[in-house]
Amino acid sequence: MHLGQPLSPSPLDPPRRLLMGSGPSNPEPRVLQALATAPIAADDPALGGLLNDVSALGRVLFKTTNLDTLAVMGASRSGIEAVLASLIQPGDRVLVGVFGHFGELLCALAARHGAQVERVDAEWGRPVDVDEIVARVRRDPPRLVAIVHADTSTGILQPVAAIGAACRDVGALLMIDAVLSLGGCEVDVDGWAVDAAIGGLQKCLGGPPGLALVTLSKRASELLHERTRPIDSAYLDLARLTQQWRECDSQTGGPELSTSMLAAAREALRIVLAEGLQPRWQRHAAASRALRAGLRAMGLEFFGALDSRVPMITLVQVPDGIDEPGVRAQLLDEHGIEIMAAFGPLRGRVWRIGTMGTNARVPSVTAVLAGLEAVLASRGFALARGAGVDAALAVATAHRR
Amino acid sequence: MHLGQPLSPSPLDPPRRLLMGSGPSNPEPRVLQALATAPIAADDPALGGLLNDVSALGRVLFKTTNLDTLAVMGASRSGIEAVLASLIQPGDRVLVGVFGHFGELLCALAARHGAQVERVDAEWGRPVDVDEIVARVRRDPPRLVAIVHADTSTGILQPVAAIGAACRDVGALLMIDAVLSLGGCEVDVDGWAVDAAIGGLQKCLGGPPGLALVTLSKRASELLHERTRPIDSAYLDLARLTQQWRECDSQTGGPELSTSMLAAAREALRIVLAEGLQPRWQRHAAASRALRAGLRAMGLEFFGALDSRVPMITLVQVPDGIDEPGVRAQLLDEHGIEIMAAFGPLRGRVWRIGTMGTNARVPSVTAVLAGLEAVLASRGFALARGAGVDAALAVATAHRR
C-alpha cells in the first residue's frame, strides 16, 4: 500500500493486538485515558505543575538529581538527536560504542551534527568491550562517548558504569540511549556518571510512542551555554528547552508543549513509581525468564551471549526451513499477537519477542508461547504441544514460591 | 514556580477552562477520545491505512493534490522548521514577509539554517504590501519566499495568491505558515501556487497540540532530492519523512510515529470535512462577527486594520487605566475563561481573544463577553451591563435569518 489510496470512511478501529515485539508495547489503560486530558494553555498556571511533575518523576526514574530532566516533544529519536545536536560542535571527536542497529544510528546522527566519529565495535550478539572503550577514552579523551544501554536489535545489555567513571576522570561526556532499558532494568544516571540519557514511553514505561524523556547532568547543561555555534535545530535545541523547563510557568515554553503527551507521561511514570523500580525490574526479569524457559522447551534456540541479554526482549533463532515472515504474519492474523523481525545481519534469521511494560507478565508470555507453538506446529516444526506454556508456568511458579 | 518543586501526588486534574486565547482551543471530545486509540506497531498492516487517511484528509483541507501531504511528529513549529531546514541550503536568499511575531520566527529559523534573509516588513496591524513583495521577487528572484498566512500576534490575514503567482513565474518557492488559518478560513495551496504549507491541530482544527500537518508541492519535493548538502536535522528531514510516508506500509517509518496523535489528527480532520470547509469558514467568520459586535457594544476598541483581520482571533485594546494581566487572571480565576496577552510591541496594550474550532460558536462568544464584562465592571470600567452579550446575539440572530 502506498499514499494516494482512497480515504477509508469509518472511524479508526485498529485491530486488537498483543504487542510482543520491540515496541511499542501495549500501554497501561490509565495512560491511554490520561492522553484525553484537556489541553493546558501556555499561560495557564496549571502548566508549570505538569512540567514540574514530569521532571520530578523523571528524576526518580533515571536515578538522578539532575535539575534538567525534561521531555522533548517528539519520538524517542527526537530526544537522541536533541542530545547529540546540542552537545556536539563541528569537529568534536565522538567515540561511539556500536553493538547493534541503534549504535549505527548514534554514529549517523553524530556525524550529521559535525562530529568526527570514532567507533568501538562489537560483534552483534555481544556488548562492546568495556576495557577497550575505557582504554580509548583514557588514551585520547574524546569530547563525548555515546553508547546504547540496551539495543533492541540484538537484545544485548551494555555495562556503562566503568565507561562513565573513565569519562568523568578525563573530562569527556557520556551519553546513553536508555530508550529500551528505562523502566525495565536499572538505569543509574548519577551512579554511573552519565551526562545525558534518553528514555522513551513506549517500551517498558507503559505509554504510547511520541515523547522522549531526557536528563542532562550539570556539566552537560553548562556546556550547552558555552557553545560558540548555535545548535543545528531550534526545535531540538536543549539550551532553549532546558531554559523553558526551568522557567516552567513562563509563557515562552507553552506553545510547543503537547500537554496530552505530557499528561500521559506523568501518568505512566506515576504507575511505574507506584509499583517501585526494583519490583518492576524484577517483573521484567521474571517475564523473560518464563518466556525463555518456554521457548527452550519448544526446542528453539537463542541468539547472542546468554549472560549479556536484556530482560525485556528475547532474540530467538528461526528454525531451519521455517518461513520467518510467514510465521509472524500468521501469528498476527490468527492470534492477534505481534512479534518482530530483526534488523540488518539478523534479518530472516531471528525473531524478537518483547516482554515490556504491562506485557512483562505471565499471561502475555503464555499467550505468545501458545500462539507461536500453534503456528510452528501448523508449519511442520516438530515440538511437544503444550511444553512451552508448561515450562513457562513452572518457572514462574517456582520463582513465586 | 520553577522546576524542582515537590511532586504533586494525585492524578492530574487540570482546571476546567474555556480556551478563548490564541490556541490551543478546546478540542472536540471525539478527538480527545481518539487519542486513546491503542498504538499501532511499525510492522502492522493497519499503520499504512492510518497514514494514508491522514494524508488524504490533509489534501482536502489544504486544497491540494500534493502526494507529499503528511504529518511531522511534533509541535506546529517542528513542521515549520522541517520545511525551512529541508528547503534551504546555506547561502540561499530567502525573502520573508514580516507583519508580526511569527514572521520574526520565520526569519530566525531561515537564518539558523543558513539562509541569507531579506525582509519585507509591515507595521504591526497591517499585512505586508503584496505589490512590494511581488516586485522584489520579480526583480531579484530568491530561492524561497516565506510568509505567515494568518499571524496570531497581530490578528492580520496576509493575501498570498499574487505572491504565489510571482514565485511560480520566476521559479522561486513559496512557503506559508497556515498554523492559525487552516480549518478556520480558506487556505488554497494549489490555487495560490503554494509550495509548502504547515497547519496545526490545536487552533481551528479541534485537536490537541503536538502534531504538524505539512504539504509539499511536486516542485518542492523534487528539490529535496536535488540538495547537495544533508538537511540539518534527521528528525526534521523531509526528504526522509516524505519517503517514509510514500512507502507507508514499510517498516522503516513506524518507530517514530506517534499513532495516538495520528489517530487524533485523523478524527479531527474527519470532523472538519464532515462539517464542510465552506460552512466551517463561515462559522468562524460568524463567531468573530458576533464577538466583535459585543466588544464594540461594551465600548472596547480594536487593534489593527479592520479590513485585514482574520476571522479566528480578535485583538482588542486594553482601556486606559485597566490592569492588563489583572483582567486576564481574574477572568481565568472567576470565570474559567482564558484570553491571551499580546507579544512584543503590543504587550500590555492588547488582549487577544480567539474563536477557534469548537469555540467558534455563539455560546463560547457570549461566555467570554459576559465574563469580560463582569471583570471590567468590577474594576470600574464604565459599560452598559448586558450590552455586549445582547449585541453579539443580535448579530448572530440577524445572520441566521
- Supply the pLDDT for residue A250: 64
Chain B CB contacts of A108 below 8 Å = 234
Count of other CB atoms within 10 angstroms of residue B134: 19
| Interacting residues of A346 by C-beta distance below 8 A, sequence separation 6+ | A124, A153, A154, A303, A315
On whether any CB of chain A is under 8 Å from the CB of B201, the answer is: no
Q: What is the mean pLDDT of residues A287-307?
A: 97
**Residue of A1, A3, A231 to mutate, testing the B interface (most B Cβ within 10 Å of its Cβ):** A3
pLDDT recorded at residue B174: 98
Q: What does pTM read for this prediction?
A: 0.96
Contact B44 A14 (CB under 8 A): yes
What is the reported pLDDT for A9?
Answer: 77
Q: What's the pLDDT score for residue B400?
A: 72
Tell me which chain B residues have a C-beta less than 8 angstroms from the C-beta of A52.
1, 3-5, 7-8
A275 close contact with B: CB closer than 8 A: no
Which residues 29-88 of A have a C-beta within 8 angstroms of B? Answer: 32-41, 43-46, 48-53, 55-57, 67, 73-78, 81, 85
Q: Is the peptide bond before B159 cis (omega within 30 degrees of 0)?
A: no
B126 touches chain A (CB under 8 A): no
For the cut 80, the answer to whether the pLDDT of residue A91 exceeds it is yes
Average pLDDT, integer, range A166-181: 98
Pick the residue from chain A with its C-alpha nearest to B230. Answer: A112
Name the average pLDDT for chain B. 95
Contact assignment for B249 to A1 by CB distance below 8 Å: yes
Q: In Å, how far is A16's CA from the nearest CA of chain B? A: 8
Cβ of B384 under 8 Å from any chain A Cβ?
no
Name the residue among B62, B115, B116 with its Cα closest to residue B84: B115
The average pLDDT across B316-345 equals 96
Give the per-residue pLDDT at A400.
Answer: 72
Q: Does A324 touch chain B (CB under 8 A)?
A: no
Cα–Cα distance, B350 to B153 (Å, whole number): 10
pLDDT higher than threshold 60 for residue B252? no
Interface contact B332, partner A, CB < 8 A: yes
Q: Are B26 and B242 in contact (CB under 8 A)?
A: no
Question: Hey, which residues 242-261 in chain A have their CB within 8 Å of chain B?
Answer: 245-249, 251, 255-261
Q: Which of B17, B210, B247 sits opposite A258 (nearest CB)?
A: B210
Question: Residue range A60-82: average pLDDT?
Answer: 97
Quote the CA–CA distance of A76 and B255 in Å, as a whole number: 9
Q: Is the pLDDT of residue A337 over 80?
A: yes
**Could you report the per-residue pLDDT of B265-281, keeping only the tens digit for each?**
999 999 999 999 999 99
Tell me the ipTM for this assembly. Answer: 0.95
Pairing of strands B173-177, A350-354: unpaired
Q: What is the pLDDT of residue B337?
A: 97
| Angle between helical axes of B238-246 and B76-87 (0-180°, round to 10) | 110
Handedness of CA B91, B96, B101, B106 (dihedral sign): negative
Q: Considering CB atoms only, which of B35, B38, B202 is closest to A36?
A: B35
> Between chain A and chain B, how many beta carbons pairs sit less than 8 Å apart?
284
CA nearest to B46 within chain A: A14
Contact B73, B255 (CB under 8 A): no
Band (pLDDT 50/70/90 cuts) for residue A110 is very high
Mean of pLDDT values over B218-224? 97
Residue A94 belongs to what H/E stretch? Answer: strand A93-98
Q: How confident is the model at residue B255 (pLDDT cuts 50, 70, 90)?
A: low
| Nearest-neighbour CA in chain B from A63: distance (Å) | 15
Determine how many CB atoms are found less than 10 A away from the CB of residue B323: 12
Name the H helices within A6-75. Answer: 29-35, 45-62
Q: Are strands B144-148 and B350-354 parallel, antiparallel or unpaired?
A: unpaired
Q: Do A23 and B255 touch (CB under 8 A)?
A: yes
Q: Which three cell numbers stand for residue B302?
A: 480594536
Which among A8, A43, A263 has CB closest to B53? A8
Residue B251's pLDDT is what? Answer: 57
Mean pLDDT of chain A: 95
Gap between the Cα atoms of A267 and B12, Å rounded: 8
State mean pLDDT over A46-58.
94
| Residue A251 confidence (pLDDT) | 57
The pLDDT score that the predictor gives to residue A2 is 74
For cell 511499542, what's the residue? A24
Q: pLDDT value at position A1?
A: 62
CA distances for A303 relative to A307, A366, B29, angstroms:
11, 21, 47
pLDDT at position A44: 87
Tell the residue number behind the cell numbers 537564518, with chain if given: B111
Task: Pick A2's closest partner by Cβ from B24, B247, B332.
Answer: B247
Report CB contact under 8 Å: B8, A53.
yes
- For residue A255, the model assigns a pLDDT of 62
Q: Which of B320, B237, B382, B265 is nearest to B31 (CA)?
A: B265
Q: Is B147 exposed, middle or buried (0-12, 13-18, 19+ CB in 10 A)?
A: buried
Whether the predicted pLDDT of A401 surpasses 70? no
pLDDT at A5: 84
Secondary structure (3-state) at B388: helix
Q: Which of A36-40, A58-62, A141-145, B284-288 has the lowest mean pLDDT?
A: A36-40
The verdict on a CB contact (< 8 Å) between B208 and A260 is yes
Q: Which of chain A's residues have a Cβ under 8 Å away from the Cβ of B39?
A: 19, 24, 26-27, 202, 208-209
**Among residues 280-319 of chain A, which lie with CB inside 8 Å of chain B?**
none
Q: Which of B43, B246, B338 sits opposite A3 (nearest CB)?
A: B246
List the single residue in B5, B23, B233 with the smallest CB-CB distance to A232: B233
- Residue A90 at interface with chain B, using a CB cutoff of 8 Å: no
Q: Do A7 and B53 touch (CB under 8 A)?
A: yes
pLDDT in tens, B339-361: 999 999 999 999 999 999 999 99
- Residue B377 has what pLDDT? 98
- Residue range A212-239: average pLDDT? 96
**Dihedral sign, CA of A355, A356, A358, A361?**
positive
CA distance A21 to A353: 5
Burial of A25 (0-12, 13-18, 19+ CB in 10 A): buried
What is the arithmetic mean of pLDDT over A48-72?
97
Which of A161, A148, A227, A232 has the alpha carbon at shortest distance from A192? A161
Q: How far from A270 is each of A190, A206, A211, B8, CA to CA, in Å? A: 21, 11, 16, 10
Integer Cα distance of B271 and B322 in angstroms: 40
Mean pLDDT, residues B191-212: 97
Domains of chain A, each with CATH number or no CATH: 29-274 (3.40.640.10), 277-400 (3.90.1150.10)
| Cross-chain Cβ contact B234/A109 below 8 Å | yes
